[in-house]
Amino acid sequence: MKYVNFPGTEEKVSVLGLGTWVFGAENWGGADEQQSFLAVEKAMELGVNFIDTAPFYGNGLAEKIVGRAIKKCRDKAFIATKCGLIREGGWVSHNLSPESISREIELSRQRLLVDEVDLYLCHWPDPAVAIEDTVEALLKLQKQKKVRHLGVCNFDLNLLKKALRVGPIKVLQVQYSLLERETEKELLPFCLEKGIGVMAYGVMGGGILTGKYLEKPQLAKKDARRMFYAFYQGEKFEKSQKLIHRLQGLGHPLNQLALNWVRQQPGIMTALAGCRNVAQVAENFGAIDWDLSSDELERIGELEKF
């Protein structure tokens, strides 16, 4: 495994991280809890120390699985979890109020079996709450030694700048892949300039960049690949297949190519890979055994942007 310094520290975090949304068993066609547990163990065996989770993933199930898996090796795991997405019956609301954050961190600590979360992120913006109040609440948790570092997910440049005026935001988590490159316009250059680590999710386009979907799959209504990733719909699916065909000409496993392309981009701290079992962990994190050459990076860069 390769490692980089976490922003502003000498602490090492793996350039490939384990994403755990699938562990929630709701939005990715189901998941087996024991297989999820073994996936965490296998990832750490391969040197992955960065594990990303959230209360939203299975209403706390993913956090519980991660907590059990790292219980005996806490010092070897760098755990990121989140706040701000609240389930209310069949609805999900955004709530980054200080009161809600205070409740959420206690529940996350209990599920993860940790006293202190390594990285605590706002999952999505909440326009109903001033970002200044949100960051002040996070700073309070930091002073109480319930969280070590602060980050945000899915913030645009303007909101990120506002958050930075209040406190030290160390990480931005965004969707970034060969199929979703909007972040290259403003966010990546800004984070690179300011020394903010970028954690990329959706690196394999919700699975489409594995190349296994040669035809549009029939997906359940709540499947994340249907409701969250646009690449499975309409003309975007056809366009994604054309890109995949051209990438196949490079002769690398597509899933590993997608991961390596992202992790080798300037400013990227960690590229996340979602894995539902040990086999997928081995397949995806095998990407660390090789790099795209400068020539290959240039050739990929010349392909038409999605």
For the chain, report the end-to-end CA distance as a whole number of angstroms.
30
Token digits for 3?
């490692």
Q: Of 42, 17, 118, nearest to 75 (Cα)?
A: 118
Structure-token match 């954690």, residue found: 199
Determine the Cα–Cα distance for residues 134 and 131; give it in Å rounded to an integer.
Answer: 5
Q: Which of 57, 120, 213, 229 is catalytic?
A: 57
Give the type of residue at 158: N
Q: DSSP character for 180?
A: B
Structure-token match 């520290």, residue found: 9
Q: Of 153, 8, 2, 155, nearest to 81 (Cα)?
A: 153
- Identify the three-state secondary structure at position 208: helix
Determine the Cα–Cα distance for residues 22 and 273; give it in Å rounded to an integer.
Answer: 10
- Identify the three-state secondary structure at position 4: strand
Number of alpha carbons in the 13 Å side-chain half-sphere of residue 297: 12
Q: Which residues make Cβ contacts (< 8 Å) with residue 292, sequence separation at least 6?
A: 252, 257, 260, 261, 264, 300
Q: Is position 57 annotated as part of the catalytic site? A: yes
Q: Which residues are catalytic?
A: 57
